[in-house]
Amino acid sequence: MAEFVTLETSADHPGVGTILLNRPPMNALNRQVQAELAAAADEATVRDDIKAVVLYGGPKVLAAGADIKELNDLTYAEMRKLAGRLQSDLGSIAGIPKPTVAAVTGYALGGGLELALGADRRIVGDNAKLGVPEVLLGLIPGGGGTQRLARLVGPAKAKEMIFTGRFVGAQEALAIGLVDEVVAPDEVYNAALSWAGQFANAASVALAAAKQAVDEGLEVDLVTGLKIEEHVFAALFATEDRSIGTQSFIENGPGKAKFVGK
């Protein structure tokens, strides 16, 4: 039984799973939390009843970064062994082949922001503060932040955030494309649930294929990316959902198909 990270579902929001961080007071991401996050992401991936995922840290903070006391005790030799696991665990949200949204109230700093960067969408409260302040510790982001942040906001803005370690407010984060929606703090979680809920009855295999094509395509040149799209597009013609979708369109018009996720 996980101590700090749970995967929760609710009858009020069918098809949506919430990965909830709960390690007061600031959801510091020690190695146990990191492992529990990866386990929750794995569970969300394989559960057929979960069609979309919300990442949430509660009403005050998503996560304010790593457990500094734990980091302080590590040697170079130890971190050489742990760095890959750190990157994998904090990147586990990115590996979920379903629509994902990070719901951020308060702080998302260091590893907390790296977690949010792995989501497909980021909804934040107007009180949110986001940043990668690792340089103030003599470090750099090590959970995927140097790569995902630069791909999201561009290298110049990513370098400025990483070099200075400064916190970015909600409106600036929206302006530079770091987040996608700003709402009142007490509306963040419900806004995320609403966004995720629209996929409860969607063609989940097609959504996974779309996510794969976009994510993998961004890592390669255009010609290779088009080949990736070609293969995942063609593969959908072996699915029940494709047969259901096209037949429903012919018989009933768009938007009325009852998909089965196969």
The third-level CATH classification (topology) of the domain covering 5-197 is 2-enoyl-CoA Hydratase; Chain A, domain 1 (3.90.226)
- pLDDT given at position 2: 87
Cα–Cα distance between 147 and 217 in angstroms, integer? 15
Q: List the catalytic residues.
A: 66, 111, 114, 134
Model-level pTM? 0.95
Closest Cα partner for 141 from 151, 18, 174, 235?
Answer: 151
Q: Scanning the structure block, which residue is given the tokens 């980021």? A: 122
C-alpha distances in Å from residue 48, one per residue of 13, 41, 218, 235:
15, 13, 27, 20
- Under DSSP, the state recorded for 59 is S
Q: Supply φ then ψ for residue 178, to 5 degrees.
A: -75, -30
129-131/168-169 β-pairing: antiparallel
Q: Which residues in the chain are classed under CATH 3.90.226.10? A: 5-197
- pLDDT given at position 1: 77
The amino acid present at 108, given as its one-letter code, is: A
What string of pLDDT tens digits covers the 262 residues of the chain? 789 999 999 999 999 999 999 999 999 999 999 999 999 999 999 999 999 999 999 999 999 988 888 989 899 999 999 999 999 999 999 999 999 999 999 999 999 999 999 999 999 999 999 999 999 999 999 999 999 999 999 999 999 999 999 999 999 999 999 999 999 999 999 999 999 999 999 999 999 999 999 999 999 999 999 999 999 999 999 999 999 999 999 999 998 999 999 9
Helices (H), 51-187: 68-72, 76-90, 111-117, 145-153, 155-164, 170-175
| Structure tokens given for 42 | 């794995």
- pLDDT given at position 197: 97
The amino acid present at 7, given as its one-letter code, is: L
CATH class of 204-252: mainly alpha
Q: Which residues in the chain are classed under CATH 1.10.12.10? A: 204-252
